[in-house]
A and B are shown apart, each in its own frame.
Chain A
Amino acid sequence: MISLPFPIDLNAATSGFPVAAMSPKTLYDKLWDEHLISRAADGSCLLYIDRHLLHEVTSPQAFEGLRLAGRKPWRVAANLAVADHNVPTTERFRGIDDPVSRLQVETLDRNCAEFGIKEFAMSDPQQGIVHVIGPEQGATLPGMTVVCGDSHTSTHGAFGALAFGIGTSEVEHVLATQCLVQRKAGNMLIKVEGDVGRGVTAKDIVLAIIGRIGTAGGTGHTIEFAGSAIRALSMEGRMTVCNMAIEAGARAGLIAVDETTLAYVKGRPFAPQGEQLWEQAVAAWKQLVSDEDAVFDKVVAIDASSIKPQVTWGTSPEMVVAVDAVVPDPADEADVVKREGAKRALQYMDVHPGTPITRIYLDKIFIGSCTNSRIEDLRDAAAIVRGKTLAKNIKQALVVPGSGPVKRQAEQEGLDQVFIEAGFEWREPGCSMCLAMNADRLEAGERCASTSNRNFEGRQGYGGRTHLVSPAMAAAAAIHGHFVDVRSI
């Protein structure tokens, strides 16, 4: 056995640092300390993982690794799997046409059966996007560490859980050890104070944040979102904000626990059952806030009243402006690499400096993804669509609910009919056109108003052009054929 050149302190969690223990802590500090098993002299730590979510794309090689090494999952019960990326959103009874996609989904089914892992298979009524079903089922709880082989795991931070995306080697590591080797990130606080105006949603808040700090603004940090505008958000809105923490460069986003959190969690299938256990959990969860005088490494303050509905114009989420603005001119960018990036983005997107955002015409509309596919998102969009029809230039408009329960809830409220009557297609739950791993995609040159999270080149289909917006903005664009300011509707 090779001996380690760096000492590991196995008592880091319990004996630890008495001075630090007494000093005020951020929410991130608390979650970190609570899950710390040991700390090596160079700062790398062994962190316990409470919940591991899996999907079909990033897990097959991890299971294969377990098999090759003759290992078993450390704690089977901590894992929950679902097929979401590759699943078709139409005629699901027919199965998956693409043999490569089908093999990947079947591989997840087989791996879960072999290792005894709870799975919502494609045909399960609870199936949905992994970041929608975790919270929906109560499998995501405050105070947990939650990981998944998917960068948008940051979503679950809305519950005051430390949640972040991992690679496939780490998926295998969590399966085998229920732990991860991690270094602690820095503490970053983004405070959004004040009231947002009518028509401004959680999506606009987070896009405005990314526009302000950039896609690397949170790199190396865990972002805590705070302030009255964040506290005023529903859990679904908070999930939208934390979902895109990764687009600001932060692996994890966090929002402190409050009554909104507790009300959402109570009664969900995997939430604590029984009055006594619930009260015990609530008492612990109420501690999941940053101490008043906790110190952050970086602080950004944003005035909520200044945020307008946002639209991305380029190929990075930081390339974003308000709906009443124009496409910016790269010549105004001082940094040479950024300037070239902006030029390339304009060329790829086929938009021109000075063009008003409201004069950008769309071909397709996508309402869905782990960012914006929950019931409130669908209600927002339906409220705009009700009684209207798609503009003539819109070739296709998809509504893809985030999960089976979201879909059924929307149908109970008649939202499906609102969309269908307007000319939208009402689909089965999955990741769908957010990343176009299934059959839902843009064709080369097509332009889409999308409620998803990434406008990268080719993200929604080879040569496709993506503008990220809120569900209400996407719905309004569907009706008018071009972007419109939802505040004027």
Chain B
Amino acid sequence: MKPFRRITARVAPLRRANVDTDAIIPKQFLKSIRRTGFGPYLFDEWRYLNRGEPDMDCASRPLNRDFVLNQPCYHGAQILLAGENFGCGSSREHAPWALSDYGFRVIIAPSFADIFYANCLKNGLLPIALDNAQVSALFNQVGPGYRLEVDLETQTITTPYGEKIPFALDASRKFRLLNGLDDIDLTLRQADAISAYERRRAQDAPWLFQHELSDFPR
């Protein structure tokens, strides 16, 4: 995973509530068996005026000029400012993959759907939940040339006016993100505890170990 420490970057505003993961990356792109290459199809149905298909060359597709990411002043934005319950719906990790592949590193919103939030943090994408008033204030400030600094170490956002906004993140998630650490390696440090639990569980709830599914004929 790509470590995250600090960025100063352009901010793209997307003021809609309940942006779902179907909107972030439509289903036809989920047929890919890779983790990369989703960026050109991010927000596909809002970004383009025709229907997207996997492996399409997006350079020649008609753009929806009204959509925020198509406005030149927001090109290269690495911070997405969004509405409440961002990332709701399907658990598809293709959503953070698409956001990250497009170039986003941070999403700021009043709230996130739980699965999406967890998925972001596994992909070097930092979801920051601020309260409604703070997000509203940022929406009022954002515009062409507007940049924010996001520092994970100190857990602060700094506005161009020097205002510092603290944000919350679990210590363990912060640690993993700062160091770009693989969760599996960290968990496997507890392999003995997992094995011990499994032995205990096999005793307490033997019915859970009665059927070895892999033994059934394929």
Q: List residues of A whose CB falls within 8 A of some B CB.
A: 2, 4-6, 8, 10, 13, 37-38, 40-44, 46, 48, 50, 57-58, 60-61, 64, 69, 71, 74-80, 85-86, 98, 100-101, 103-104, 107, 112-113, 116-119, 139, 141, 143-144, 149-151, 153, 164-170, 172-173, 176-179, 181, 183, 185, 215-216, 219-220, 246, 249-251, 269-273, 277-278, 280-281, 284, 316, 318, 337-338, 340-341, 344, 435-437, 444, 454, 456-459, 462-463
Contacts and interface: CB of A to CB of B under 8 A. Distances in A.
Nearest to B51: A462
Contact of B33 (A76, A107, A459): A107
Contacts of B184: 69, 71, 172-173, 176-177
B170 A183 contact: yes
Contacts of A316: 18, 20
A451 to B, nearest CB: 17
B114 A251 contact: yes
B183 A219 contact: no
B172 A40 contact: yes
Given A42-B172, A338-B17, A219 B113 contact: yes
Contacts of B32: 100, 104
Given A165-B91, A177-B188, A183-B170, A61 B33 contact: yes
Interface in B71-115: 83-85, 88-93, 96, 111, 113-115
B61 interface: no
| 10 nearest A-B pairs in the assembled complex, by CB-CB distance | A272-B207, A167-B93, A167-B119, A60-B33, A42-B171, A169-B122, A165-B91, A118-B213, A216-B85, A151-B91
A183 B168 CA distance: 15
Given A44-B172, A150-B91, A151-B91, A270 B211 contact: yes
Given A64-B33, A76-B214, 9 more contacts: A13-B197, A40-B171, A48-B198, A58-B91, A104-B33, A166-B91, A168-B119, A216-B88, A316-B20
B30 interface: yes
B175 interface: yes
A46 B193 contact: yes
A13 B200 CA distance: 11
A76 to B, nearest CB: 5
Contact of A181 (B187, B207, B213): B187
B2 interface: no
B23 A457 contact: yes
A263 B22 CA distance: 37
A107 B173 CA distance: 32
B214 A116 contact: yes
- Interface residue tally on B, bucketed by range: 35 or more
A456 B89 contact: yes
Nearest to B212: A77
Interface in B189-210: 190-191, 193-194, 197-198, 201, 204-210
Contacts of B123: 169
Contacts of B118: 166-167, 170
Given A169-B183, A277-B206, A61 B115 contact: no
12 contacts: A42-B170, A57-B30, A58-B91, A77-B214, A151-B90, A168-B93, A219-B85, A250-B114, A337-B84, A437-B27, A437-B31, A456-B23
Interface string B148-178: 0000000000000000000000111101000
B193 A149 contact: no
A58 to B, nearest CB: 7
Contacts of B113: 216, 219, 249
Contacts of B84: 216, 337
B5 interface: no
A8 B179 CA distance: 18
Given A37-B194, A167-B115, A117 B214 contact: yes
Nearest to A221: B114
A142 to B, nearest CB: 10
B215 interface: yes
Given A170-B122, A178-B198, A273-B210, A249 B91 contact: no
